[in-house]
Every structure is written in structure tokens, then in C-alpha cells.
């Protein structure tokens, strides 16, 4: 289970984010503990108010818990992970709120603790919490028998396509997947041996190498940048996780490249007009093919919500009846006093507590079974969506490659074109030499009086 955490401020903004129902198919408030209010925004307001009595700038500690994509994880595993985090970071008994999100057949959790100790009015010190969470994450992988990511075994083998929120938002604006966009640039970098090969590999994928503005980054991370077809600018060094001087060592000085403004003008003047019609048509066809899948996804979401509401209503009614039955076992009045004197009241009370606990576990298991079955059904649909997306993405990528190929042919830069021209020129020269030899032979033959007709 991957654990990502941060100390932060912005109580209301974080509350709205974890309740976001647009980017998530299901949002479930699991727990609000240690607050007067029993809803997220109310609890966030309490933290904001109590923080005013301190000098703390970051009163929140937010952790996201992301299990492996192919695993169906029960609530108990998430709660066990949260308890481990509290124990090792000294957050035990601190107010917290837990929310579950489901998207594309996967369930993950968000937990937010208040760092403010109400007794001392000071913030809990969370030194080196990232290292602690990394160890907890390893332990969870081992305890549950999940395949551990290579980056946990060897930090040098971490997935280089991990991206930040800013990178994801930038890719979202350009209509690309952030993970795919970074993977494409890294693939081009690995397959190229210099600036020419890198630039051509990028252009075949609808990306363009340019010279960044040095003033934007004092560390020179933007000396070499990549401009997308829609005009987004990405730093090469940041995408491939290299230092600026390492990029310069391979690609040379960026002074030989066009500026970002020149590159955008080149895209607008030469590339965009030629590609726009084809790409728009490809996107239209892709949207038509995705439309039935999106409708099926929406219908499935509504169906799953109704199934959960029906189960919750049934469990609530059963719980009320069971509570009444257990309460009816306890006698009142003089008989109740007599039961207490002879110990019968204590036995019945203990029996009721045990039954209540097992009923709670039964209800939780029923709901978990339903959620896991629904997530399995949703993953099967997501596999169809993913395959359709990949197929359409390959078609659009082929358009970019064709455009780059055409541009290079127009400039006469393709090696195979030069070879064919050279072979053609050689054949023409050979034909001319053969024709001249034939004329010479004919002339000489006529001089000798031979009739070659």
C-alpha cells in the first residue's frame, strides 16, 4: 500500500477536495473521530478555529492510502494501516477523519489528522515522517502478500513516470495522460544519442524540442524544454529526472534551438493546420466509440449506488430490531433489581455486547463483499475502456508520425529517400552510359557496313 503524506494548511480547500464526487465515482465518509461535528467541513472548521490559538502554519497531516491496483482490500486493512501510522508518528488520540474514494474499480482512502494537541495548544512534531511511512508501507506489502514495487526493494528502480499534481493538471489541459506523456519523453530520451535524434523522435509523437527561458529557473532546468502540440511547455530535465548539465551534455547548447515562442509559431503555421482536421476527426471517432462505454459506466455507477443504499437501509432496519430484542432481555422494575442482585443482569448485558459486536462485524462483511463484487465488475468495464483508449491513442500517434515523415520527405532529410534518389540517379546515369555506348556501337557498326536492323 503506497502511503503519500504532507503537512499542510487550507482546511476548507482540503475538505472540499476529499469530498469531490466529480473525479470519483463513490465517496464514502467512513469516520469522523475526536470532533464535535460529525461531517468533514464542520471538523475542518474546528481545526481552523483551534489553530488560531497557536502559531502553527500547517495544522493538518493528510495521508492517502493507495493499495495495489489489482487487489480488493477490506476496510480492516485500511484501519490497521491507520493505527500503525498513529502509533509510530505519535498521533494516537488525535482527532481524525477518514474518507474512502472509488474510481475505475479501485478503492483508496484519505485520512486527515489534526496536529494540534488541545491540552498543550502545540502542534505534534512529525520528524522524518516520510521515512516512517515508507517502512510502514513495506510492512503492509509483506503482511498482505502483495507484490512489492521495485522502488521499495531498490530506490534506484522507482517508476520514473511518477508525476506531480501540477504535471497532471498540465497534461490534462493538453488532453494527454500525464503518465503517458512522461513515458513518451523518457522513451525518446533513452532511444536517442543526440539532439537531432531526440528532436526527431519527439516530433514523430507530436512534441517539439525548444529553448526554454533561463530566467524561469535559476537551476537551468528549463534550458531544454518540450512543447506539446497544444502549446504546453515541459522541462526535459524535470521529466527525465536528470540535472540540467546532464541534459546539456547530451543535447548540446540550447542556443541552437528555437525559442518557445518560435516553436509555437512554427506549430501554428505549419503543423497545426495540416494535422488539425485529421486529429479532430480521429478524436470524434474515438469519442463515438467511447460513448457507449461511458454510458455503461454511468449506468453502472447509479446501479451500484442503489444497491448500496438498499443494503444500508436493510442493515439499519435489522440493527434497530436487534437492538430492541437485546433491550427486551433486560428486566425493569423490581424484577430488574432482583436480576442485578443475583447476577443475571450482568450475564445478559455481556451477552448483548458480544452479539452486538458480531452483528457489527457481520454487517461490515456484507457491505465489504458487496463493494468488492462491484469493484470487480467495474474493473472489467475499465479494462474495455483502457483498451479502447489505447487503440485510439495509437491511431492519433500514427497521424503525428505521418506528419513528421511527410515534413522530412519535403525537406529531403530521410535516409531512405536519399538512398532511393542515389539509386535512381545511378540507374539514370547507367542508362545514359548504355545509350551512349549503343549509339557508339551503332555508329561503328554502320561504319563497318553491318546491318543491325
Q: What is the dihedral of CA 341, 346, 348, 349, to 10 degrees?
A: 140
Q: 367 versus 409: which is more confidently predicted?
A: 367
Q: 318 versus 218: which is more confidently predicted?
A: 318
**Separation between Cα atoms, residue 75 and residue 81, nearest integer Å:** 10
For residue 213, what are the domain limits? 165-258
Instruction: Say if CB 205 and CB 394 are below 8 A apart.
Output: no
Strand order in the sheet with 106-114: 2-8, 60-66, 106-114, 96-103, 26-33
The burial class, CB within 10 Å (0-12 / 13-18 / 19+), for 239 is buried
Q: Cell 474512502 belongs to which residue?
A: 100
Most confident of 159-163, 327-331, 420-424: 327-331
CA distances from 312 to 32, 39, 102, 367 (A): 19, 19, 18, 8
Question: E strands of 273-418, at which residues?
Answer: none
Q: Of 70-79, 303-312, 387-396, which range is least confident? A: 387-396
Confidence of residue 400 (pLDDT cuts 50, 70, 90): low
Same domain, 7 and 147: yes
Same domain, 296 and 397: yes
Per-residue model confidence as pLDDT tens digits over 117-152: 888 889 999 888 998 999 999 889 888 888 777 666
Per-residue model confidence as pLDDT tens digits over 239-248: 888 888 888 8
Same domain, 22 and 147: yes
Q: Is 212 helix (H, G, I), strand (E, B) or coil?
A: coil
Q: Flag whether pLDDT at 230 surpasses 80.
A: no
Considering 157, 173, 201, which residue would you say is the last residue of a domain? Answer: 157
Assigned domain for 437 exists: no
Confidence of residue 64 (pLDDT cuts 50, 70, 90): very high
Instruction: Say if CB 40 and CB 99 are below 8 A apart.
Output: yes
Q: Cell 464542520 belongs to which residue?
A: 42
Distance between first and last Cα of the chain: 90
Same domain, 316 and 380: yes
Q: Cell 489534526 belongs to which residue?
A: 114
Same domain, 225 and 340: no
Assigned domain for 447 exists: no
Per-residue pLDDT at 171 = 58
Instruction: Say if CB 99 and CB 27 are below 8 A apart.
Output: yes
State whether the Cα torsion 308-309-314-318 is positive or negative: positive
Per-residue pLDDT at 111 = 94
Per-residue pLDDT at 115 = 92
Per-residue pLDDT at 399 = 67
Per-residue pLDDT at 404 = 64
Q: 296 versus 439: which is more confidently predicted?
A: 296
Per-residue pLDDT at 278 = 66
Assigned domain for 231 exists: yes
Q: 333 versus 400: which is more confidently predicted?
A: 333
Assigned domain for 207 exists: yes
Per-residue model confidence as pLDDT tens digits over 34-53: 999 889 999 999 999 999 88
Q: Flag whether pLDDT at 424 surpasses 60.
A: no
Assigned domain for 436 exists: no
Percent of residues, the chain, with pLDDT higher than 70: 75
Assigned domain for 360 exists: yes
Assigned domain for 386 exists: yes
Q: Flag whether pLDDT at 416 surpasses 60.
A: no
Strands 106-114 and 96-103: what pairing? Answer: antiparallel
Strands 224-228 and 233-235: what pairing? Answer: antiparallel
Average pLDDT over residues 265-293: 71
Per-residue pLDDT at 114 = 92
Per-residue pLDDT at 437 = 47
Cell of 194: 543526440
Q: Which CATH number fits the domain that encloses residue 23?
A: 3.30.930
Buried b (16+ CB within 10 A) or exposed e, 128-137: ebeebbbebb
Angle (CA) 355-356-357 rounded to 5° is: 90
Per-residue model confidence as pLDDT tens digits over 16-32: 888 887 778 888 899 99
Same domain, 252 and 287: no
Per-residue model confidence as pLDDT tens digits over 350-396: 999 999 999 999 998 999 899 889 888 888 888 888 888 777 777 76
Same domain, 228 and 284: no
Average pLDDT over residues 259-277: 72
Same domain, 376 and 232: no
- Closest to 65 (Cα-Cα) out of 120, 21, 95, 109: 109
Q: 195 versus 441: which is more confidently predicted?
A: 195
**Separation between Cα atoms, residue 47 and residue 117, nearest integer Å:** 11
Assigned domain for 122 exists: yes
Q: What is the dihedral of CA 442, 448, 450, 453, to 10 degrees?
A: 20
**Separation between Cα atoms, residue 252 and residue 244, nearest integer Å:** 11
Considering 131, 157, 183, which residue would you say is the last residue of a domain? Answer: 157
Per-residue model confidence as pLDDT tens digits over 197-207: 888 888 877 78
Same domain, 348 and 251: no
- Closest to 403 (Cα-Cα) out of 264, 281, 246, 270: 270
- Closest to 253 (Cα-Cα) out of 209, 286, 202, 288: 209
Q: What is the dihedral of CA 31, 34, 40, 46, to 10 degrees?
A: 180
Residues 253-259: contacts with CB under 8 Å, at least 24 apart? 254/211, 254/212, 254/223, 254/224, 255/211, 256/195, 257/195, 257/209, 257/210, 257/211, 257/224, 258/210, 258/211, 259/210, 259/211
Same domain, 122 and 142: yes
Per-residue model confidence as pLDDT tens digits over 145-173: 887 776 665 554 555 555 565 655 565 55
Per-residue pLDDT at 45 = 92
Same domain, 108 and 189: no
Cell of 289: 466509440
Instruction: Say if CB 66 and CB 108 are below 8 A apart.
Output: yes
Domain count, the chain: 3
Q: Of 71-80, 257-266, 362-371, 399-408, which range is least confident? A: 399-408
Considering 139, 157, 175, which residue would you say is the last residue of a domain? Answer: 157
Same domain, 28 and 134: yes
Amino acid at each position: 500500500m503506497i502511503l503519500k503524506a504532507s503537512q499542510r494548511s487550507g482546511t476548507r480547500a482540503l475538505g472540499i477536495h476529499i469530498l469531490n464526487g466529480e473525479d470519483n465515482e463513490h465517496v464514502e465518509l467512513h469516520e469522523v473521530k475526536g470532533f464535535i461535528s460529525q461531517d468533514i467541513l464542520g471538523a475542518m472548521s474546528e481545526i481552523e478555529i483551534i489553530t488560531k490559538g497557536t502559531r502553527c502554519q500547517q495544522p493538518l497531516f493528510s495521508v492517502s492510502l493507495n493499495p495495489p491496483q489489482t487487489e480488493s482490500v477490506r476496510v480492516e486493512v485500511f484501519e490497521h494501516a491507520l493505527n500503525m501510522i498513529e502509533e509510530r508518528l505519535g498521533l494516537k488520540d488525535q482527532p481524525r477523519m477518514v474518507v474512502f474514494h472509488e474510481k475505475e474499480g479501485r478503492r483508496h482512502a484519505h485520512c486527515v489528522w489534526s496536529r494540534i494537541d488541545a491540552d498543550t495548544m502545540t502542534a505534534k512534531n512529525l520528524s522524518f515522517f516520510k521515512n516512517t511511512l515508507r517502512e510502514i508501507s513495506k510492512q503492509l506489502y509483506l503482511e498482505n502478500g502483495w507484490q512489492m514495487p521495485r522502488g521499495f526493494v531498490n530506490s534506484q528502480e522507482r517508476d520514473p513516470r511518477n508525476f506531480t499534481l501540477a504535471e497532471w493538471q498540465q497534461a490534462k489541459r493538453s488532453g494527454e495522460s500525464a503518465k503517458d506523456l512522461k513515458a513518451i519523453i523518457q522513451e525518446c530520451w533513452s532511444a536517442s544519442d543526440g539532439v537531432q535524434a531526440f528532436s526527431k523522435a519527439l516530433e514523430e509523437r507530436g512534441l517539439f524540442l525548444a529553448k526554454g527561458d533561463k530566467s524561469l529557473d535559476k537551476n537551468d532546468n528549463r534550458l531544454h524544454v518540450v512543447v506539446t502540440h497544444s502549446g504546453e511547455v515541459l522541462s526535459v530535465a524535470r521529466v527525465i529526472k536528470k540535472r540540467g548539465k546532464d541534459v546539456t551534455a547530451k543535447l548540446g547548447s540550447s542556443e541552437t534551438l528555437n525559442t518557445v515562442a518560435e516553436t509555437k509559431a512554427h506549430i501554428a503555421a505549419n503543423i497545426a493546420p495540416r494535422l488539425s482536421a485529421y486529429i479532430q476527426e480521429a478524436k470524434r471517432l474515438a469519442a463515438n466509440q467511447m460513448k457507449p462505454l461511458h454510458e455503461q459506466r454511468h449506468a453502472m455507477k447509479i446501479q451500484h449506488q442503489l444497491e448500496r443504499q438498499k443494503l444500508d437501509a436493510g442493515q439499519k432496519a435489522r440493527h434497530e430490531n436487534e437492538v430492541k430484542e437485546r433491550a427486551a432481555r433486560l428486566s425493569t422494575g423490581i424484577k430488574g433489581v432482583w436480576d442485578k442482585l443475583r447476577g443475571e443482569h450482568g450475564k445478559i448485558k455481556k451477552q448483548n455486547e458480544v452479539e452486538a459486536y458480531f452483528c457489527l462485524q457481520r454487517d461490515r462483511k456484507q457491505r465489504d463483499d458487496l463493494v468488492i463484487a462491484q469493484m470487480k465488475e467495474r474493473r472489467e468495464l475499465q479494462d474495455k475502456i483502457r483498451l479502447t483508449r489505447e487503440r485510439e491513442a495509437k491511431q492519433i500517434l500514427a497521424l503525428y508520425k505521418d506528419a513528421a515523415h511527410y515534413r522530412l520527405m519535403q525537406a529531403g532529410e530521410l535516409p531512405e529517400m536519399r538512398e532511393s534518389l542515389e539509386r535512381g540517379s545511378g540507374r539514370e546515369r547507367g542508362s545514359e552510359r548504355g545509350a551512349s555506348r549503343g549509339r557508339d556501337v551503332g555508329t561503328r557498326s554502320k561504319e563497318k557496313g553491318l546491318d543491325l536492323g
